[in-house]
A and B are shown apart, each in its own frame.
Chain A
Amino acid sequence: MGEANGLSESQPQPTAPITAVVAAAEKPSLRQSLAVAALGVVYGDIGTSPLYTVKQCFDGATVSPLRVYGVLSLIAWSLFLVVTVKYVIVLLRADNRGEGGILALMVLALRAIMRSPNRWVLWAGLFGAALFYGDGVLTPAISVLSAVEGLKVHTPELEPFVIPLTLALLVVLFIAQRRGTGLMGGFFGPIIIVWFVTIGILGLKEIARHPAIMWALNPIYGIDLIRHHPLAGFVLLGAVVLAVTGAEALYADMGHFGRGPIRRAWMRFVFPALLLNYSARARCCSPIPKRWRTHSSYWRRTGSCCRSSCSPRPRR
């Protein structure tokens, strides 16, 4: 509790806490450390999605060029629309004086329609928050479990120890939480930076060899895929969504780091690295398709999954 007292004494007149935080964040060193910590905490989820999303998208499906281009197009545009536009541009503005997340948003919405007291906003907000806790139980379970399973792929002798090792890691992870989100971020941030640089470079190398894949960023391929195969396309969306599942947590974490560091990290670093890696993965994780008119030469060259950019993947 001593820390809390220290907090209130160090900020005796917090009439405008957010501007104070922003001002503090303008100091370059502070700003950088906050951005690094924000990267580690906020973007770990979205950042590791390439490990399983692309694979899920091709799971059990016949691979055609239409599908490869369509999948990449859908992933890229989901990232753009959901993460960039909805969460990073629009929702990061909707803060209840610095705090984000669905409850803060609900308070704003309640305040907005004060004149006609609508209970549904309260019920909807509470249900959304309850669902967020559901996600809070699933995400750590699935992510730590798949991390250990990933190690198992490399070292098959680990097989009998997957569950005990997962539980041990979880205990360590949760015990460490008492040190605070900032410290967790300070520790995780540099690792995640190395991660993004690595997947970005691997992606770039692959794209340099086959730049034609960048055509898939055209949304028409995604729309075509859904138009031609509505049913398969619908099922596919269940896999594409894996690319953006971390976005809600990004918004909920706004209070921990402030809007600036979260936004800058996404626009300048995370989003480009992810686009590069998804493009490379979409191309090389797909088995060789039959002839396809314009890009046939490049498709024929692709053998089995090229290892360089599909790093061994813990699966989700």
Chain B
Amino acid sequence: MLPLVVLASTATVIASQAVISGAFSLTNQAVQLGYLPRMNVRHTSEREIGQVYVPAINNMLLVAVAATVLMFRSSDALGAAYGIAVTGTMTVTTVLAFTHLRYGAHWKLWQLIPLFAVFFTVDVSFFSANLLKVHEGGWYPLVIAFSLYTMMTTWIWGRSKLARQRASAGMPLEMLVAGLKPDRPVRVPGTAIYMTAQVNNVPAALLHNMKHNKILHERNVLMTVQTADVPRIPEAERLEIRHYDQNFHTLRIRYGFLEEPDIPRALALARVAGFRFNLMETSFFVGREKVVANRRQRWLFPFKRLFVLLSDLALDATEFFHIPTNRVVELGGQVEI
């Protein structure tokens, strides 16, 4: 008897692994797609590209799970909370799958309709049967889901708002290049690489250099790192280089959402393309923007505060992109949201 008890208990512990691994996968995708702040993601397998471990999510899950155990104290009590989250996800999955198979994979309607009528009926029955338990504890996963949903949508909203602000306030690179005089500001030897979100606009760090230090480097590269919605980008398509007058260049580096950006490697790739960098004579300028919430549009203020909190938590760009730290100059500044 005892071996069976131990086996059943061990298997039951293992039952939580599927969803833990799933949470890592999901987080990795969400970060790469820009739905969650940047986090440290570790690839734990050389063979399977999708095997990832996200320390921050692991720690947060542990805390949340432990709190849940302390709150409910028995599996019977937890049973009432269980079911609504997963049946909700399943229903959404069915709807999205229909959309994808109909419009993306072009399945025929006569194939899709009977199949999805069944799926949808089953999902909705299961989901509504679980709705009966909302007051007994089903509210709990819903509260968790709504907070995460708020977090993700706030992050998306804030980032696009900042991007719009930058786009409208920024000066186009062409305009700067056209207006530069050969002797002013003074050009100093070496290469400056400016990390920026949009290579078409002059980054704030470059303007700071001109305004406060009264210099420009001999060669200036505006670099941006973009994440595509495919898992991997072939090396041949990774870089997009454009040259401007006055030794200005733009460099777009693209990664798939499963890839870990690695700037030194990408620069080595640029050398193959005839664009050489001596890392020892190259400085990386990173605009370190502190986001602050302004008090315009008062009703948005809580969301602004949440966005500020999330940006403070986000991993630094230098760490995320593996830039050699001794070559980085950070120029601070504030942006309002």
Question: Using a CB–CB distance below 8 Å, which chain A residues touch chain B?
Answer: 1, 3-8, 10-15, 17, 21, 24, 30, 34, 40-45, 47-48, 51-52, 56, 78, 81-82, 85-86, 90-91, 94, 96-113, 121, 123-151, 153-154, 163, 166-167, 169-171, 173-174, 177-185, 188, 191-192, 194-195, 198, 234-238, 240-242, 245-258, 311-316
Q: Tell me the B93-108 residues at the A interface (CB within 8 Å).
A: 93-97, 99-105
Residues of B within 8 Å of A129, CB to CB, are: 26, 30, 35, 89, 148, 152
Known: A45-B18, A100-B25, A177-B53. 18 other contacts (CB 8 A): A98-B231, A105-B100, A112-B105, A125-B92, A127-B92, A129-B26, A129-B30, A130-B145, A131-B88, A132-B85, A135-B141, A139-B19, A191-B7, A234-B125, A253-B18, A256-B48, A257-B48, A314-B8
Is residue B90 contacting chain A, with contact meaning CB distance below 8 A? yes
State the main secondary structure of chain B at its contact with A: helix
Residues of B within 8 Å of A78, CB to CB, are: 122
Name which of B127-135, B166-174, B297-305 contacts chain A.
B127-135
Residues of B within 8 Å of A4, CB to CB, are: 42-43, 260, 262
Residues of A within 8 Å of B115, CB to CB, are: 85, 90
Query: Are the CB atoms of A146 and B49 closer together than 8 Å?
Result: no
User: Would you give the shortest CB distance from A165 to chain B, in whole angstroms?
Assistant: 11
- A145 in complex: contacting residue of B69, B152, B256, CB < 8 Å: B69
User: Would you give the shortest CB distance from B255 to chain A, in whole angstroms?
Assistant: 10
Of all chain A residues, the one with the shortest Cβ separation from B106 is A112
User: Would you give the shortest CB distance from A131 to chain B, in whole angstroms?
Assistant: 4
Is residue B181 contacting chain A, with contact meaning CB distance below 8 A? no
Name which of B74-82, B189-197, B286-294 contacts chain A.
B74-82
Is residue B83 contacting chain A, with contact meaning CB distance below 8 A? yes
Could you tell me the distance between the alpha carbons of A137 and B148 in the complex, rounded to whole angstroms? 12
Residues of A within 8 Å of B125, CB to CB, are: 234, 237
Question: Using a CB–CB distance below 8 Å, which chain B residues touch chain A?
Answer: 1-2, 4-26, 29-30, 33, 35, 42-53, 55, 58-59, 61-62, 64-66, 68-70, 72-76, 78-79, 81-83, 85-90, 92-97, 99-105, 115, 118-119, 122, 125-126, 128-130, 132-133, 140-142, 144-146, 148-149, 152-153, 229-232, 234-235, 256-260, 262, 265, 322
User: Would you give the shortest CB distance from A243 to chain B, in whole angstroms?
Assistant: 10
Q: A99-B25, A170-B65, A181-B24 are in contact. Are A150 and B12 (CB under 8 A)?
A: yes
Q: How many A-B residue pairs have CB under 8 A?
A: 442
- A141 in complex: contacting residue of B23, B30, B65, B260, CB < 8 Å: B65
